[in-house]
Structure 1
Amino acid sequence: MSPFEDIRPFYDTEVNDAIKEIIHHPMLKAMMNFTFPDASDEYWKDLMLHCHSIRDFQINFIYPAVQKVLEKSSEGLSTSGFDKLEKNQSYLFISNHRDIILDTSLFNASLYENGLSMTTTAIGDNLVKKPFLNSLSRMTRNFTIKRGLPARELLESSKVTSAFIKNALLRENRSVWIAQREGRTKDGNDETHKGVLKMISMASEEENIIDYFKSLNIVPISISYEYDPTDVLKMPELLAKAKSEIYVKGENEDFFTLLNGIMGQKKRIHIHVGNILNEEIENIGAEESNPNRQFQAIADLVDRNILSGYKLWPTNYIAHDLLFGDNEYQSMYTEHEKEVFEKRFRKGVDTNDPMAVKSFLAMYANPVNNQKRGLKEIID
């Protein structure tokens, strides 16, 4: 039995049986009716029952679904930097993370369009507790990260996850996508957590961590949405954080957020692929021998690259000017764009609550400040 049995995606040999188990599920019917609105159920069911690999399932069903989502809820996806990637090379993509499903779905669709292999992708097990979602996740090559474990179990689980990532990258030559921190960024501050890097390094087997990280070919990914489709849904947690209160999720909150992320309006979306960080990581090893400071330096390096590749939209500049009560970035947006943003803002936020106003605007404004600060650090 595989040491990764509890977290791994399906093998290709398991895909057809998994399809047979969910083929009559009402959620699958809803997905396929959305994806193929002019086709009969018999059409897509027959096509799906002849599917025998993850790649077939992704290309024939997930990719068209992503295209339909873009058509219905966005003004298009643009990309940059994919030409830096080589077809037969595996990469550890460390990405900022805004939307539960779309971030990785859009990224894999972009890899496919550029003739590159799609990734195996980290997803929290809290998002796939329902049997149907678990099967769908495993059929799209996701591996699960276990959440909320006691300290000892968390350590063992982290070791297994780290070994899975190493096996995918160095033995299977399969690229891996992982978020720069646990869970999604809700306040617009994209920051790499050292804990993620330490988890990844657990499989290094006494190897120098600098050499190990170089072997993984780390590439930072920046994804930005002009409108966050779940911005209003993030408000309760942001307000609890602002008041130093513990936030407890509702029973179906993740699922509700997942659906809103898929169908909510996003306007324009951009994905940027950064440079492979091997040279910079080698320089960190030459300048710093303390492992803890090496982890922090690598985290800072990933942050700078994600921030520099992050595309700022008119919504970011509008929020910044509204938050700070000035017109510093007035040239970056039109009056119409400002009116549309303010209408959305007033509809979703209690404007009589100063903390709610500040939290919502900061969600969009923080990337402006962070990119400005990051570029200043590079110049200095």
Structure 2
Amino acid sequence: MSKFDHIRPFYDTEVNQALRSIADDPMMKAIMAFTFPELEEAEWVKELHRTYSIRDFQINFIYPAINMVLKKSSEGLSYSKLQHLDQHTPYLFISNHRDIILDTSLLNYVLYSEDLMMTSSAIGDNLVKRPLLLALSRLTRNFVVQRGLPAREMLESSRLMSEYIGELIFHENRSVWIAQREGRTKDGNDATHKGILKMIAMGKGDLADLEYFKKLNIVPVSFSYEYDPTDVLKMPELMAKSRSEVYVKQDNEDFNTIINGIMGQKKRIHVHIDSPINDEIDAILQKGESGNKQLQELCDVIDRRIISNYKLWPSNYIAFDLLYPGELFANEYTEAEKQDFVARMNKGVDTSDVVALENFLNMYANPVKNKQTILNGE
């Protein structure tokens, strides 16, 4: 027994048995029918039974599934050039987080397309309560982040996860993905939470925090969707926050968000995978400041990279100009694009409710404001 057994992905020796156990699940059949509409069920089941490794499952089943998702629910995926990454070097990818499943799936899609190492990725245990979802997450090299534990247990869980991240990078030579904050960004403000870095640093051993982060090879990643497929679904939580109320999720809310995120319309998508930030870490170290101040500066470095490389779409500029009348960015979109965005907004939001309208528009406009702040050196 390994101390990581309750959070780790499947080992390759466990993959075939796991695949056989889920082949008859109705949801699995629906996923395969969507991915391979030209195949009879017996054909994909036969191929599934011949699969004995996570990599083969990702390449032969998940990669085609993401291709089909992009075909059916987007107008295409673009991504940055990746010459600055080495195919044999493990990295710690830290990104903004907009979609539960697609963010990490698209990152691995891009990495595989460029012949780079795919990641092991963090996923909250609240998202894998259904047996099939847990199996699929373990079959795609996800490790489980435990949520909602009492304080002492949470501390031990964080320590274990930090140790596991180190195990993956330093001993298994495996890249890791983790979001810059717990949970998805709902309001378009992408900010790295210091608590995430503190958790990761628990595994540093005798090293200083920033020396450890240098060894991890941190690479910021920016995910940008022209339309957020779950924008309307985020509104109840945003409205509760605006009223200073505690938001309580509905039953099956996470599952419905997963489905809508995958199948909802996204229009264009861009993924920017940056270069490692070791030079910036060296610059912070040279200042000789306190550990807490250094961690905040590291958060700021990651934020600047993510926000600077965030691809702004017409939807972002339209939302800004609707929120702040004056058409400051009118050259960034067409009248047809504006009409499409307004129609989408009118369909999902009660525009007579000023607070609801502002929350929806801010979701798209905040990336514009944040990028302007960085460009202006504020």
TM-score, normalising length: structure 2: 0.99
Deviations 1:185-207 (A, max 9, x none): 01000000000000000000131
Q: Indicate the SS of the match to 2:268.
A: strand
Alignment of 1:1-380 (within 5 A): 1-377=1-377
Deviations 1:305-346 (A, max 9, x none): 000110000000000000112200000000000000000000
Q: Indicate the SS of the match to 2:232.
A: coil
Q: Please state how far the C-alpha of 1:282 moved relative to its aligned partner.
A: 1.2
Q: Please state how far the C-alpha of 1:6 moved relative to its aligned partner.
A: 1.1
In 1, the alpha carbon distance for the partners of 2:206 and 2:142 equals 28
In 1, the alpha carbon distance for the partners of 2:17 and 2:228 equals 36
Q: Indicate the SS of the match to 2:202.
A: helix
Q: Please state how far the C-alpha of 1:2 moved relative to its aligned partner.
A: 1.3
Q: Please state how far the C-alpha of 1:349 moved relative to its aligned partner.
A: 0.2
In 2, the alpha carbon distance for the partners of 1:315 and 1:218 equals 30
In 2, the alpha carbon distance for the partners of 1:235 and 1:210 equals 37
Q: Please state how far the C-alpha of 1:150 moved relative to its aligned partner.
A: 0.8
Deviations 1:281-320 (A, max 9, x none): 1111111431111110000100000001100000000000
In 2, the alpha carbon distance for the partners of 1:363 and 1:270 equals 17
In 1, the alpha carbon distance for the partners of 2:30 and 2:51 equals 19
Q: Which amino acid aligns with 2:336?
A: H
Q: Indicate the SS of the match to 1:117.
A: coil
In 2, the alpha carbon distance for the partners of 1:83 and 1:28 equals 36
Q: Indicate the SS of the match to 1:224.
A: strand
In 1, the alpha carbon distance for the partners of 2:319 and 2:82 equals 30
Q: Percent same amino acid at aligned positions? A: 60
Deviations 1:146-175 (A, max 9, x none): 111111000000000000100111111100
**Structure 2 stretches lacking a partner, 5+ long:** none
In 2, the alpha carbon distance for the partners of 1:178 and 1:372 equals 26
Q: Which amino acid aligns with 1:227?
A: Y
In 2, the alpha carbon distance for the partners of 1:99 and 1:204 equals 30
In 1, the alpha carbon distance for the partners of 2:81 and 2:175 equals 16
More divergent stretch after superposition (81-90 vs 47-56): 81-90
In 2, the alpha carbon distance for the partners of 1:367 and 1:80 equals 19
Deviations 1:249-272 (A, max 9, x none): 001000000000000000000000
Q: Which amino acid aligns with 1:124?
A: G
**Structure 1 stretches lacking a partner, 5+ long:** none
What is the aligned residue count? 378
In 2, the alpha carbon distance for the partners of 1:243 and 1:375 equals 32
Q: Which amino acid aligns with 2:362?
A: A
In 2, the alpha carbon distance for the partners of 1:63 and 1:334 equals 34
In 1, the alpha carbon distance for the partners of 2:171 and 2:321 equals 49
In 2, the alpha carbon distance for the partners of 1:105 and 1:206 equals 34
In 2, the alpha carbon distance for the partners of 1:41 and 1:374 equals 52
Q: Please state how far the C-alpha of 1:210 moved relative to its aligned partner.
A: 1.4
In 1, the alpha carbon distance for the partners of 2:198 and 2:207 equals 13
In 2, the alpha carbon distance for the partners of 1:46 and 1:272 equals 37
Q: Please state how far the C-alpha of 1:359 moved relative to its aligned partner.
A: 0.1
Q: Please state how far the C-alpha of 1:373 moved relative to its aligned partner.
A: 0.5
Deviating above 3 A after TM superposition, structure 1's stretches of 4 or more consecutive aligned residues are none
Q: Please state how far the C-alpha of 1:57 moved relative to its aligned partner.
A: 0.3
Q: Please state how far the C-alpha of 1:144 moved relative to its aligned partner.
A: 0.6
